[in-house]
Structure formats: structure tokens, C-alpha cells
Structure 1
Amino acid sequence: METLKQRNVNKLEDLQISVLASGSSGNAIYIESAQTKLLIDCGLTGKKTTELMGQIDRDPHELDAILVSHEHTDHIKGVGVMSRKYNLDIYANEKTWQAMDKKIGKVKTEHKFLFDLEELKTIGDIDVLSFGVSHDAADPQFYAFEKNSKQFVVLTDTGYVSDRMRDSLKNADAYLMESNHDTSLLRMGGYPWPLKQRILSDKGHLSNEEGALALVDMIGDKTKRIYLGHLSKENNMKELARDTVEEVLLRKDMGVNETFHLYDTDPDSAQNLFIL
């Protein structure tokens, strides 16, 4: 019989993940293994990021690195501050470095690392695959994290999900999927028309339904958790996003609430750590 001590060791061998914040006001995701502790993006102040890590009982002094998806403020606001304060390495592709370098302040050369598009890199004991998305940034990319044959995919900030992406990211154990807006709310809302056009374009953001339809092609037998992320405060609501995604998945005969479950994210509160 497995002892409590053995069970705790097994947990350390797996990935533990928390969506610290997700939304148009700021984004950060925490991933840890036995050897490695990472942030994916840091679009909040250093103080807020530290507070959110405290909500899951984690210390930023133990972080190893930040992986950056693209240079928009809601993804990099705290990157430079956190790197300077905690001596963290920063990974991004070359064009993203060029676009964000002046925005994040001075970073020590020894903390700057390239992570090229469609590269597989091992950071500590976590395998990380980068993949391109369609967004109005210099060279946006997101990441899939793998350990012990289990995979967590982060896919937000994209105007569409290509067939290639759907195939290569299929059957992950967990996803953070963009569910940015309800199209009707966006069209009727108070945003200027050029901003509406930008969000609705192929280089904008996925609507609730678009994210759900992408998931239809990606969910597999291994999939257990789907987190709905990057919700717009003005053009979406948690309940609306969840209901829309659930309705699409049910309509497509997917096993929502049976073989896998949907989870909300929040721009201000960290989600509980889960074990992959």
C-alpha cells in the first residue's frame, strides 16, 4: 500500500499548476515540478504577483524563470521587476525581446535567454514546446509543458486556431483556452469600432464559441481539465463563457462534466494548484 510519504514524493514528480491571473488586465501562470518553478507571463505588478503566489502558498524567491508569450503589457508588466528582484531568467523569442526590451527596464544579460518559435526546450526537468499564435504582436507564441507523459497547454491571445495547431496540441491532459468575449456583447458594447474590428480579426482574440469549437478538435481521452481564460471584463462574464462552451461541447457529444471538467479563471485571484 502506498504510504503518505510516497504519495507526497509522487506529487513532486508531477507538474503542479495554478492560473494566478487571467484576463485583459493581467496574466500569469505558475508551474512547478520537483526541480523547477516557472511563471508563464507576468502581466501584473511585482507586488500583485507576489500576493497571488502567496494565495497558493508559494514564494517568488524559489522561482527559476519567466517564459514570455508576447510583448503586450498585460503579459509583461511585472517581468522586469520580478527578474531584477528575484534574479530570474527570462525566455522569449528574438522579435519579442526586441519589442519588449525597453518596456521591461534593465535586465542582466545573464538572465536573457532566447526561446525560438516551434522549439522544444528542457528547463530544469520540464519539457517545453513553443508554438506560434495569430495575434497583433511582434512574434507571439505560447507553450505546452510536459512531464511524465502529461501535458498542459496554454493557448490564449489568438484570433484563430489553425488546423496545424489543433493537431499538434491534441489530447493534452489540461488546457488553458482563450474564451475572451461574447460576440454579441462585443458588437453592442461601447468599444470604438476599430478596437472591435481588432478583437474580432484573425489577429485578435477567440470568442467563447470559437474557443469551444477549437476544443472540440483538441480534446482527447487524456483530457481532464479545461480552464477558460483571458475573459474580457467589458464583453464577457464567467457564467456566460462557461455556459457557451459547455453548450457547444454538449452539442458535439463531448463528455463535458463527465470525462473532463470546465474551470473558471479570474484576473484578481489565483486558482488552486492542481496536479497534472
Structure 2
Amino acid sequence: MGLQFSVLASGSTGNAIFVETENQSFLVDAGLSGKQMQQLFEQIGKDISKLSGILVTHEHSDHIKGLGVLARKYKLPIYANEKTWNAMDGLIGKIETGQKFIFQTGSVKTFGSLDIESFGVSHDAAEPMFFVFHHQGKKLALITDTGYVSDRMKGTIHNADAFVFESNHDVSMLQMGHYPWSIKRRILSDVGHVSNEDAAIAMSDCIGDATKRIYLAHLSKDNNMKDLARMSVQQTLASKGFITGEQFELYDTDPTTPTPLVAI
């Protein structure tokens, strides 16, 4: 089996990613209702009750909406950093002490043959962090919900076999759109979300010989479109000498439909 994953849901309405090896399986975020999460698991033929745990990136509702329900129903361990735990207080209901685990930003936790590395990102949450999964020489890097991609982040995720990479908005669509200026300013800020072009520029510094799959994630439903995101990223990568379809493939993600479960 190796290292397998599916982007169950991705976008401004809810986010969740399933990752598994032969002996471990984790859910990264549970940003849809408990019922929707169950349906997503059924679509990929997996059982929520068999999860080793849930990893939380940050406390925004599109990442934790179903967290409390799933944790209580299936008695699942939850891993988050201390500031995120504090920020979630009152948002996810009561969680038993035995299910609450601290996962410090910038640390590595080992579960059997799976190493999970956390790293900080730049977003307007208490202490947002994302994850790199290492298993038998393979590397899966997840990075969304960041206003920019720093050299430190690039160093952590560099040369992953597969990336789930934020491509949140098209700048012109956002600027011309109906959002109030305060929200536009937040999205465009260093603690907001990366645009299609900025995502591709960052990718060009992270793609390595091992990289075969890049999933464009967390697309705004109001300020982006799948075709536009893919075209913008392809063009920007091409200007940096990376030709999609030769070294690696680009894949879409969806707010309601999981990507096929694939091994890397």
C-alpha cells in the first residue's frame, strides 16, 4: 500500500484530507458536518471508526466543523497545538481529556513507520500549522491557509512526491468581486490566502525530482475557478521552466467530491 491519500473536500466551505499507510490512518481537519464527513468516507470506501486520529491545522470553522461530533462518536484522539486547543474551546463541544493530545508546531510525531512533521504557516488563526507525512522514503506535503510561502516553509515541503497546495484565488476576480474591501484586504494580506500565481511561484521553488503529483486546493468558490487556477498555475510554472504533464501532473480538488485514493 505505501502512503495513500485522498483530498476528501477542499474549499472555503470545508476541508478534510485522509492519509493512510498499512497500519495507520489519519484525518487532517474535519471541516464539514459529521454526516457529510461520513458520506465522504463512504465514497472512498474507508471507515472513520478505524482512524488512528484527527490532526487539526487551525480553529477556523471550515477546518473543524465536524471535529467534535466525530471525536465523540468514534472516540478518536485529536492532535493540535496548545494555542489551537485554546482557540477551539467552546467551538467543538466537550472532548474527553484522554482524547486530547498536544502536537507542537515544528515537531515530529512518529506512529509506527509513519513520521508526521508539523510546520507553521502565516494565517489569521491562533497558531496555524500544516503537515508533511514521511513513510518509507515517500513524502506528502500539505500546505493551504497561508498568506505567503516563506523560505522556511519551502525548505520543509521541498521535493515532496505529492503536494496538496493552496491556490485560493485569482487576484483580478477577487479585486472585481462583491466582497467588502476589508475581506479582500484580509485575503490578499500576509495572513490570508495565496493566489494562483503566488502559489505557482512558490511551487517552482519546491518541486524536485521526486515530485509527481500536485493538487490545487482551497479554491475560493467566489474568486476562482478550477480551469482558471490550473491554467494560471501551468503558465506560471512554464515561465519557470516546469512543464506540466512531463515531470508531474496537476490535479483539481473539490468542495464535495473526494479525489481518488492514490498511493505515492
SS of 1:228's equivalent in the other structure is: strand
Spell out the pairing of 1:30-109 with structure 2 (5 A cutoff): 30-109=18-97
The answer on 1:143 being equivalent to 2:143 is: no
The residue type equivalent to 1:62 in the other structure is: K
Contact 2:113 2:136 in 1 (8 A): no
Listed as ranges, the gaps of 5+ residues in structure 2 are none
Spell out the pairing of 1:5-20 with structure 2 (5 A cutoff): 11=1, 14-20=2-8
Q: In the alignment, what sits opposite 2:140?
A: 152
Equivalent residue for 1:24, pick from 1, 12, 18: 12
The residue type equivalent to 2:109 in the other structure is: K
> Which segment drifts farther, 187-196 or 245-254?
245-254
Q: Which 4+ residue blocks in structure 1 deviate beyond 2 angstroms?
A: none
Equivalent residue for 1:119, pick from 107, 112, 115: 107
Listed as ranges, the gaps of 5+ residues in structure 1 are 1-10
Shift of 1:125: 3.1
TM-score (normalised: structure 1): 0.94
Q: In 1, distance between residues paired with 2:10 and 2:219?
A: 7
Q: In 2, distance between residues paired with 1:129 and 1:245?
A: 26
The residue type equivalent to 1:134 in the other structure is: S
Shift of 1:250: 1.0
Q: In 1, distance between residues paired with 2:155 and 2:16?
A: 26
SS of 1:49's equivalent in the other structure is: helix
SS of 2:134's equivalent in the other structure is: strand
SS of 2:83's equivalent in the other structure is: helix
Spell out the pairing of 1:135-214 with structure 2 (5 A cutoff): 135-214=123-202
SS of 2:187's equivalent in the other structure is: helix
Q: In the alignment, what sits opposite 1:8?
A: none
Q: Percent identity?
A: 56
Q: In 1, distance between residues paired with 2:146 and 2:61?
A: 16
Shift of 1:101: 2.2
The residue type equivalent to 2:132 in the other structure is: A
The residue type equivalent to 2:223 in the other structure is: N
The one-character-per-residue Cα deviations of 1:160-189 (angstroms, maximum 9, x if unpaired) are 001121122210100000000000000000
Q: In the alignment, what sits opposite 1:3?
A: none
TM-score (normalised: structure 2): 0.99
RMSD of aligned residue pairs (Cα, Å): 0.7
Q: In 1, distance between residues paired with 2:61 and 2:111?
A: 25
Q: In 1, distance between residues paired with 2:181 and 2:112?
A: 45
